[in-house]
Amino acid sequence: MVEKPIEGQHPNSTDNPSDRIREVIFLIRKLMQAGEIYTKELNKKFNISAPQSACLLVLHEDGPLSISQIAARIMVKSSTLTGIIDRLEKKGLVLRTRQSLDRRVITIELTAAGQELAERAPPPIQQKIVQGLSRLNDAELTLIVQSLGKLTEMIDAPELVEEVVESGFV
């Protein structure tokens, strides 16, 4: 009897450890390709990057926010977000305003064009992942967290991700 592969599993997978390693690489590539396709579509249709979209969507949902508040919500450093805000401001999608007596406090808000784009932009790819993960039981979530934790340790991902974001690549 021929076993049907598990959904998402590479069709030529076996119990051989080297095949399992290839399967992990295959699945990681599949995830990365999904992210790349999403990013290309955002850029093509809306002329914005994924982090720019995330910023617009947070501002659309939560109203004017400080840079540190936006950074916390989209999980980037404030210094990284400054460049994202600069690019959005050049596109006429956000404004920096001072609404406090303390001139150091800057609030970011959507322009009418930014509001309109946020209403048309697709939800972030992370939202699909969150929706899928919310359907898993605790044991499945724990296994995913442990496995991804091991993978990120292998490649020292926190620093790598921050470098990629800061470079403006995403």
Indicate the pTM of the whole model.
Answer: 0.68
pLDDT in tens, 57-67: 999 999 899 99
Q: Which of 158, 170, 140 is nearest to 40 (CA)?
A: 170
Q: 17-166: what CATH class?
A: mainly alpha
Listed in sequence order, the DSSP H helices in 121-137 are: 125-133
Residue 109 vs residue 170, higher pLDDT = 109
Under DSSP, the state recorded for 94 is E
pLDDT in tens, 42-97: 999 999 998 999 999 999 999 899 999 999 998 889 899 999 999 999 999 999 99
Q: Where are the domains of the chain?
A: 17-166
Contact between 170 and 87 under an 8 Å Cβ cutoff? The reply is no
